[in-house]
Amino acid sequence: MRASFPSVVALLLAVGASVPCAVAQPAEPAPTSRLAAQSKAAIEPADQHPLLSVKMPEEARKVIRRALEAYAKAQSYQDTALSGFTIAAKDAAGEDASQDHTQEVSLAYERGGKMALKSNDLSVYRDGNKATIHAAFLGQYVERDAAAAAGLASLDDQIGPGLEQLHPVSQFLAGATGLGGPLGMITEITAVKPDERDGKKVTVLMGLADAGMMMPGAAPAPVTLAFSDETGLLTDVRIDFTQAYAGMMSEMVEQAKQMGQEAPEGVPTKIEKAEMSLRMKDIRLDQAIDAAVFAFKPDAADKRVDEFDFDTMGSDTAQQELVGKPAPEISGVALDGAEFSLSGLKGKVVLLDFWATWCGPCVQSIPSIQGLSDKFKGKAFVVVGINQDGKGTDNKVKKFLEKRSITFTQFMDEKNQVGRAYHVTGIPCSVLVDQKGNVQRVHVGASPTLAEELGADIQDLLDGKQLSKDAGHEGHDHAEPAMNEDETIDGGEAAPRR
């Protein structure tokens, strides 16, 4: 068994940085929320805000007070933030293993209790009458009376501590009595300096953050907060985890060596930079906001529930329920620029391979998937890779494929829409679709016999056979479970989705 090499996915889930497409089973909600309930009045007085309880020079305190006063006076606030975790690194072979898990998080706030906080996987809406949390990765949403869910605190209890971590400005606007996310990790502000961001003057507060919140025993990590000189508002937060992450990976490499193992190809082991960041852009104060922004409109597939049901999230049951049913449609532009649709492949057996370049088991298994594509070439069979690397990684994925002579069609699932439709939480994940467009088999994880098993299933389908009773309802017998706390993320089972 290989040593476990943490991916940035596990890191993001541990820190709760931006909940970027995070669909692994969430932890139980914190006993008490780190955000207080918000009334429809103004936020906490500047001198009482919890961020000011951090040790800092008076010059830094003035900068924070100015920001708090600006937020308190604002009748409305809007922005779009880029939130995520990036790593510049190489793998054990010296090849590029950089990762960029960044997503957009938008915030709209209007005095009087209205708010819309939106990300790919988790969103919060308050329209003045009711509050809604939409968990896109579950395909579920809950509604609460606005009076019973006045602030983030009560909403936070519905899904765990993720809400407060989506956007730090929401904590300034929501009257925090405690802090979560990047702001909650700050332990000390040590210096203040002038700087520029995108050609505009800012004042940067420099200090330390508790890296041990994500990696026990890690040394404090450098943190910076930048505030606009013009408006006084927060423009970005950055925490440098390079030392902490490099130390963790070095320890993992050493453990693997002691077991006679090497780090899998594609896993970042030589860390050059590891940074959590959130950068606000397009900040708008006191501008009219359309009421529709604060109203949640569910998709046809979304289900209203009283409480979120995490038991079905990417579970064996959820994926097995796909078997025998029409495969969810996939359509758009493939990585090579050609138009693509799954429905357009009816009449052929289709193997969907969910994978990512940062996933050790995926890197190990993708040559065998290419082997299946080659083996059945000329027959009514096609392989489609569903890549999970995220937005802005096209060139990286192309280089990865070219180096390994991977030629089958690739579809970039940038917003995890396809992954959600297929209940994918562990990768690699293989889904076999028959000539009629029905799901016949779901297999999660990599194994030495994967290609042989899939090859036999593909041949059966080409021969017109059913893989199991009722088009495969019992056909999940050789699928590996998605990763749990006791499994590795690199050595042959499955890595958690982003």
Q: Could you give the dihedral angle defined by the CA atoms of residues 316, 321, 326 and 327, in that order, rounded to the nearest 10 degrees?
A: -20
Structure-token pair, residue 322? 């796909």
- pLDDT value at 485 more than 80: no
Residue range 239-294, pLDDT digits in tens: 999 999 999 888 888 887 888 877 767 678 899 999 999 999 999 999 999 999 99
- Whole-angstrom CA distances from 70 to 28, 67, 172, 200 are 35, 5, 10, 18
Of 214, 228, 206, 222, the closest CA to residue 279 belongs to 228
In this prediction, residue 327 has a pLDDT band, given cuts at 50, 70 and 90, of very high
Residue range 133-191, pLDDT digits in tens: 998 877 889 998 866 555 554 444 554 445 556 688 887 886 555 567 788 899 999 99
Structure-token pair, residue 90? 């190489």
Enumerate residues 6+ apart whose C-beta is below 8 A from 211: 185, 218, 219, 220, 221, 239, 241, 244
- pLDDT value of position 174: 63
Q: Could you give the dihedral angle defined by the CA atoms of residues 250, 251, 254 and 256, in that order, rounded to the nearest 10 degrees?
A: -110
First to last CA, the chain: 24
Domains of the chain (ranges; CATH) run: 8-294 (2.50.20.10), 314-496 (3.40.30.10)
- pLDDT value of position 361: 85
Distance (Å, whole) CA 83 – CA 184: 16
- pLDDT value at 7 more than 70: no
Distance (Å, whole) CA 248 – CA 362: 22
Residue range 13-40, pLDDT digits in tens: 333 332 223 333 333 333 333 323 333 3
- pLDDT value of position 424: 87
Task: Check residues 101 and 429 and name the one with the higher pLDDT.
Answer: 429
- pLDDT value of position 177: 53
Residue range 88-117, pLDDT digits in tens: 998 888 888 888 778 788 999 998 889 999
- pLDDT value of position 171: 76
Q: What is the DSSP code (8-state) at residue 212?
A: G
